[in-house]
Amino acid sequence: MSRFYLSFENSFCQSYVSEKYFKLFENVDVIPVVRGGLDYKRYLARGSFIDASDFQSAQDLARYLLYLSKHRKRYTRMLELKDRWTAHNVEPFHCRMCERLHTDLSPGHFTNLKEALQPDGECWPPDDLGDAGPGTT
Query: Is this model's pTM higher than 0.85 or not?
Result: no
**Structural domain total, the chain:** 1
How many Cβ atoms from other residues are within 10 Å of residue 17's Cβ? Answer: 21
Q: Work out the percent of the chain whose per-residue pLDDT is above 90.
A: 27
Q: Is 100 within a domain?
A: yes
Task: Kindly state whether residue 136 falls inside one of the protein's structural domains.
Answer: no
Query: What's the one-letter identity of residue 112?
Result: N
Give per-residue pLDDT as tens, 111-135: 665 555 555 557 777 776 654 444 4
Give the range of the structural domain holding residue 33, as residue numbers without chain letter: 1-129
Q: Is residue 60 part of a domain?
A: yes
Whether residue 22 is contained in a domain is answered as yes
Residue 19 falls within a domain, yes or no?
yes
Is residue 137 a part of any domain in this protein? no
Half-sphere exposure of residue 96, counting CA atoms within 13 Å on the CB side?
12
Residue 57 has pLDDT above 60, yes or no: yes
Convert 41-57 to b/e letters by CB count within 10 Å (16 or more is b): eeebeeebbbbbeebee
Tallying the residues shown for the chain, one arrives at 137
Of the chain, the percentage scoring pLDDT greater than 70 comes to 67
